Structure 1
Amino acid sequence: MSAVVVRSARAEDQAALAALWAAAFTPPLAPDQWLVDDERLSHTLVAEDDEGVCGSIYGLPKRLRETDGGVAQVHAIGSVAVAERARGRGLARRLVAATLDAAGDADWALLFTGTPEVYRSSGFTTFSMPRTMAGPWAASATAVEPASVVRESVGLGVLGPLRAVYERSRTGVVVLAPVRGDRDWTMAEVRLRGATLYRLAEADATVGYAVAEVRDGVGLLHESATDPTAADSPALRRAVLEAVAADWAAAGVRVCELAIPALAAEEAAVRAFAPAAARQDDRTGMIRPLRREARVDGIRHFTAGDYF
């Protein structure tokens, strides 16, 4: 059994990393989102044995909102993978320890996982958040699609007009919501690629939007927001959701999954949009203090476009 070395990733590792992630994750993890991070090699550690790359971990700096209205510097951990030949040797713990050592001035670390037992020994604890509403869906008989909502397929550069309304809708009310920089927006565009952006504008400024799609007959609402400073924010939210509903009705959607923060205004709108949908708690998130404890009491939410 050869010794395993943990080191920074190099350009020549990219093909091996893509193969490792394709084998280690179900469904296979494509490197598309990782590839748009210009600093991806410095953010990635690999484990290497005599046969080559046998493990990986990705540590991405993010700025996340906290309970007190402040913003934390967070070490967001993803792409933790160990090749089958190297499992059972504590390699995942070594990779976690190494990325935490490289976390710099991060206040705390965050990851999402379906195997929390792997990370508890490294000091991570699980938290929950009411991230989605899911259940049966049917179009309202009285819904009228607004002509003012513009549709566009999500791709690189498409989400730029959403920046201001996204920030205003999250600041001070949604804990964990990232303060998105250029890299965050580009990674969201890659992750949401192919979904439909429904955008409502007034005087050339976006005042409301949703990102949604139909996949295998299920209506998926990945993200939505309206400008809380607009004159009639509830009406804007209804208009955007009615446009989504028109497309879902045409596609024969009968089941939905809606990723929205558990805010009162959001709840009211979604109750009208999907009366039979029920709140679903997500317990895949884990946090570890670094420089200090995380301050994440309150309404927590993390959208599909921000996973890493």
Structure 2
Amino acid sequence: MTVEYRTARRDDEIALSALWATAFAGAPVEDLWAAAPERHRHTLVAVDDGHVVSALHHQPRPLRSATGAVERVGCVGSVATLSRARGRGHVRALLAAAVRAMTADGCAWSLLFTDTPGVYEGEGWRTFSRPTWHGPPAGETSAPRPGHEARVRTALAADRTALAALHDAYDAHRPLTTVRTADDWAHRVPTWYAPATTDTLLAEDAAGRPVGYVVLRRHRDGTTDVDEIALGAAAPAEPLARALFAAAAERAGPGTVRVHLPADGAVLAALPVLLAEAWVTDDRTGMARPLHATAAAVRATVTAPGAAHWYGDSF
């Protein structure tokens, strides 16, 4: 029987749920998809003998370019294929259909993250580099004094407005960042940064005003990921980063700490407060593909100094 490649329908939802639950066990893929606007139109499926055997989701998102301008970017995720249907070209066919759909939707370029870049390279996506630091958490003897009198505490749901303001200011011109909406803060960010696995630490000055935050995600193996930061302009950046990192080091598990933050001066200067020793690796899980934009313009955005795509904006 001929395989059909098409957009998803409401009666595909049970099959999609089962596929994603198997492929992304523990990740809130279905929860995010259920809240995505026009989710059926932006989901492509391969149907073999009446069964969904492969799927991907492409979602237009507003991202900042190398110049700080906001572009419409087609973000590709939730790519999965049943084990019995792999190796038959389904993902390649769905990617080709996604390129056509995203181009027609006016997307300047496309962004995705993967540990298996081969199939995407064949369809025009190219990897880009992001530095990642990792090492053991700093202890009391190895961590220098924070140098800032900020009070750091766990952020609460009531702090959402303050977090959003800090985020918007810190990323106002930062390439590769997403322009978050109120709906993102209400649904997407809490879904990825769930309190059960995540600590969002908020720094306040002596007057109790929010001045910065950092996000840590804890894993069962003891590893901790530092996935987002915002340093407000109301406090000196390096001492503030030190205060946040000192609190983060106390919260980190006993295993490795991995830091996924931009190589900004304040972040680099404060790293010894967080990591007793630091090794830098080249993270090449990010991939980009031009659509309406030129390849040079896309490359300028993803390789720009200070470029960052936060985990809380995952799609």
Same fold flag (TM > 0.5): yes
> Which of 220, 234, 239 lines up with 1:235 in the alignment?
239
Aligned pair in 2 of structure 1 residues 219, 126: CA closer, same or farther (>3 Å)? closer
Please give the per-residue CA displacement for 1:94-114, whole angstroms capped at 9, x wherever unaligned: 111111221111001111112
SS at match of 1:267: helix
SS at match of 1:22: helix
- The one-letter amino acid paired with 1:44 is T
1:189 paired with 2:194, answer no
Question: 1:46 is matched with which residue?
Answer: 45
- The one-letter amino acid paired with 2:240 is L
Please give the per-residue CA displacement for 1:207-229, whole angstroms capped at 9, x wherever unaligned: 101111432222322211111x2
Question: 2:100 is matched with which residue?
Answer: 101
Question: 1:6 is matched with which residue?
Answer: 5
Shift of 1:267: 0.6
SS at match of 1:62: strand
Please give the per-residue CA displacement for 1:68-101, whole angstroms capped at 9, x wherever unaligned: 2222210000111122333232211111111122
The number of residue pairs the alignment matches comes to 299
In 1, Cα distance between the equivalents of 2:235 and 2:118? 48
Q: How does 1:69-218 map to 2 (within 5 A)?
A: 69-103=68-102, 104-130=105-131, 132-141=132-141, 143=145, 148-152=151-155, 159-172=160-173, 174-185=174-185, 186-194=187-195, 195-202=198-205, 205-215=209-219, 216-218=221-223
TM-score (norm 2): 0.85
Shift of 1:25: 4.3
The worse-fitting range, judged by mean Cα deviation, of 202-211 and 100-109 is 202-211
SS at match of 1:212: strand
User: Contact between 2:4 and 2:48, CA under 8 Å: does it hold in 1?
Assistant: yes
Please give the per-residue CA displacement for 1:159-188, whole angstroms capped at 9, x wherever unaligned: 44311211221233x321212223443212
Aligned pair in 2 of structure 1 residues 121, 147: CA closer, same or farther (>3 Å)? closer
Aligned pair in 2 of structure 1 residues 5, 183: CA closer, same or farther (>3 Å)? farther
Question: 2:265 is matched with which residue?
Answer: 264
Question: 1:16 is matched with which residue?
Answer: 15
- The one-letter amino acid paired with 2:304 is G
Aligned pair in 2 of structure 1 residues 137, 15: CA closer, same or farther (>3 Å)? same
In the TM superposition, structure 1's runs of 4+ consecutive aligned residues that sit over 6 Å from their partners are 26-29, 144-147
User: Contact between 2:200 and 2:213, CA under 8 Å: does it hold in 1?
Assistant: yes
Quote the sequence identity (%).
36
In 1, Cα distance between the equivalents of 2:222 and 2:284? 25
Aligned pair in 2 of structure 1 residues 158, 4: CA closer, same or farther (>3 Å)? farther
The worse-fitting range, judged by mean Cα deviation, of 47-56 and 196-205 is 196-205
In 2, Cα distance between the equivalents of 1:258 and 1:128? 14
In 2, Cα distance between the equivalents of 1:28 and 1:302? 18
In 2, Cα distance between the equivalents of 1:254 and 1:19? 33
User: Contact between 1:256 and 1:277, CA under 8 Å: does it hold in 2?
Assistant: no
In 2, Cα distance between the equivalents of 1:262 and 1:107? 26
- The one-letter amino acid paired with 1:176 is L
1:298 paired with 2:299, answer no
- The one-letter amino acid paired with 2:218 is V
TM-score (norm 1): 0.87
Shift of 1:256: 1.1
User: Contact between 2:223 and 2:256, CA under 8 Å: does it hold in 1?
Assistant: yes
SS at match of 1:40: coil
Aligned pair in 2 of structure 1 residues 213, 96: CA closer, same or farther (>3 Å)? closer
In 2, Cα distance between the equivalents of 1:289 and 1:201? 41
In 2, Cα distance between the equivalents of 1:28 and 1:234? 34
